[in-house]
Chains A and B, each alone.
Chain A
Amino acid sequence: GENVEQHPSTLSVQEGDSAVIKCTYSDSASNYFPWYKQELGKRPQLIIDIRSNVGEKKDQRIAVTLNKTAKHFSLHITETQPEDSAVYFCAASRKTGANNLFFGTGTRLTVIP
């Protein structure tokens, strides 16, 4: 099965700085990579996703890059703000008919004002 690793587990940055979270996956057939933001006690919210036919995708301050050869993908947040503080999860899936998502272990991001 798929194995998704995520680093770092915790990350603290000063407000305005950039934050980068990295994930690797094991199944070369995986072709969909979403990122979720989860605040304490709340639901995971999809913030950006990328499919394997695209190398990079950007949405305002958030960008995701994908390297299929190396089987890794990264989340980049620029100009961080205190409200970006949350736990971020990467995930990977491949089309098996069941769309199963395999999650990374999460990164707790703290943006220091």
Chain B
Amino acid sequence: GAVVSQHPSRVICKSGTSVKIECRSLDFQATTMFWYRQFPKQSLMLMATSNEGSKATYEQGVEKDKFLINHASLTLSTLTVTSAHPEDSSFYICSASLLQDTQYFGPGTRLTVL
């Protein structure tokens, strides 16, 4: 149980385009979903927290107009990187919270912006 999927697993796009990443909890309803960014050989940095039906809470330094988060249902959250630039290239990972504090992670999306 507690399976989280993420799509796509890899995406390459041109600078200036937008990219949407989906995060789904497959076998449970997630009260909260989280979006992280991970640079090579570094830790996970929380970008934002989203709850179904409400606006996401962004961490300091994360541009909410650039990283749009939509949490339309208890099983789906999306992250859209708008007007992507090479510095946005990274590994983006979502997680979903089943119980009060346990988080289960998706497989990640590797974004490369040319």
Task: Spell out A's residues near B (CB within 8 Å).
Answer: 32, 34, 36, 41-46, 49, 89, 93, 95, 98-106
* Shortest distance between the CB of A53 and any CB in chain B (Å): 13
Interface size range on B against A: 20 to 34
Contact A98 B107 (CB under 8 A): no
Contact B46 A106 (CB under 8 A): no
Contact A106:B102 (CB < 8 A) given known A44-B93, A98-B57, A99-B32: no
Contact A101:B42 (CB < 8 A) given known A34-B102, A43-B107, A44-B93: no
Contact B108 A105 (CB under 8 A): no
Contact A99 B44 (CB under 8 A): no
Task: Point out the residues of chain A lying under 8 angstroms from B46, CB to CB.
Answer: 100-102
Contact A103 B43 (CB under 8 A): yes
Contact A42 B103 (CB under 8 A): no
